[in-house]
Amino acid sequence: MSTTTAAPRDDAAPPAARRRRRPDLRLSGHGVATVLRLELRQRVRSTRWLVALGVWVAVLLLVTVLIGYALSTLTDGDAGGADGVGPVVFDAVVTLVLTMGLLVSPALAATSINGDRSAGTLAPMQVTLLSPLDIALGKLLAAWTASLVLLAAATPFVLWAFTRGGVPGTALVSTLALTAVTLLVVCAIGLGWSAVSSRLASSVVLTYVSVAAICFLSPLVFALSIPLVLTEERVTVREQDFANAEFDEAGEPIGGEPPCVTREQRLDVAHTERTWWLLAPSPYVVVADATPRAPIAAGGGPLSVVGDGVRAARQGETDAMRDYCSGFSEEEFIAEEQERRDALDRVGAVWPWGLAADLLVGAVAVAATVRRLQVPYAALPRGSRVA
């Protein structure tokens, strides 16, 4: 007589094991496209979207007209003089477009999940064959598409600034591409908070706080960390010898400008090469560092200043000599500026690290969204509805 051992029943497993389930990571291109179409149709039918687009174009037009007026005033209508401030105009318009994108894009995704949950339209979508990943990516692409429409509406203004001259052609492509990627990350952050928070107002506020932290908190922390990387070192200083010079009653040096002397001093040296990475995640730093600099003769705008500052921070204060007796002729200025640029070009780029950090934040936000869309729910926030 043989003995048969029965297989253990599933309901005999511990309650924690029964509740544990593998995440549903199925992905269907058709499912993503379906959610994308539904979201875009809903946005197109909304009059608020058209109003936001109109306000977006109106603000850009107003600021661009003011910039154009300032340009004509500074150059007195001289086309050659306009080329000299072309990089400044281009940087100003690009910074404006990026700032407005960072202000508008969070609102396009910050209520995408909890808004549908409050309206009772999320649960019917979850009981279909659509996976949580399909829903999350579809809503993310819909919000990003709306952001790209805003960016496309701003492109003519960027092109106008580009035609002012003095800006490399690659700068136009890099700024638009990186701005588009930045808007994708912002939409992902808004989508994540809309899935985590049950209240619409809370998700919007948390999204704006997160975007502000990425843009401005990292540079602020970098600035506050400078005293931590200061070390007193022996530095060779070349400067004019005002200490031994004689001056007349008008305060002018007697016998001409004091001669330049070289002496060693113990000064504070900031080793920012240890903390430069704190600046990298800021979208302004990413766009500025990736934008090719204008020729020296054309000058530079805000993006050029930020880009050079970030490269200098990564380079650190490594020079053993500080020269304060540089010449002030145009030839000497161009030569020194070219030498400085060559030294910064030899420093590794910062924007790939910042872009990777931003994309990582966006990926974490999408992962949180997919996790919160898993059904059946383990627990629901108080006050939330399923259908």
pLDDT value for 1: 44
Q: Which is it for strands 321-323 and 260-270: parallel, antiparallel or unpaired?
A: unpaired
- The total of other beta-carbon atoms located within 10 Å of residue 343's CB is 14
Contact of 290 with 170, CB cutoff 8 Å = no
Q: What is the pLDDT of residue 17?
A: 43
Cβ proximity of 369 and 191 under 8 Å: yes
Distance CA 207, CA 196 (A): 11
In whole angstroms, what is the distance from residue 357 CA to residue 352 CA? 9
Q: What is the pLDDT of residue 235?
A: 80
**DSSP state string for 256-306:** SSPPEEEEEEEEEEE-GGGTGGGTTT-HHHHHHHHSPPPPGGG---HHHHH
The whole-number pLDDT of residue 299 equals 60
Q: Whats the size of the chain, residue-wise?
A: 387
**Quick one: pLDDT at residue 187?**
93
Q: Residue 10: how many CB atoms within 10 A of its CB? A: 8
- Map tokens 């497993």 to a residue: 13
Amino acid at 25: L
DSSP 8-state assignment for residue 11: G
Q: Which of 76, 142, 78 is nearest to 108 (CA)?
A: 142
What per-residue confidence (pLDDT) applies to 193?
Answer: 93
CA–CA separation, 24 and 22 (whole Å)? 6
Pairing of strands 230-240, 260-270: antiparallel
pLDDT tens for each residue of the chain, 387 residues long: 444 444 444 444 444 444 555 666 677 778 888 888 888 887 766 667 778 788 888 988 888 888 777 766 766 644 444 455 778 888 888 988 999 889 888 888 888 888 888 877 787 887 787 888 899 999 999 999 989 998 999 999 889 888 877 788 888 899 999 999 999 999 999 999 998 888 888 899 999 999 999 999 989 999 999 888 888 878 877 777 666 667 767 667 776 677 777 777 777 788 888 899 999 999 999 999 988 776 666 566 778 888 888 988 888 876 655 766 765 566 666 677 777 777 777 888 899 999 999 999 999 999 999 988 887 665 665 655 555
110, 120 contact by CB (below 8 A) = no
pLDDT value, residue 298: 59
CB 286 within 8 A of CB 310: no
Angle, helix 112-119 to helix 169-196, in steps of 10 degrees: 40
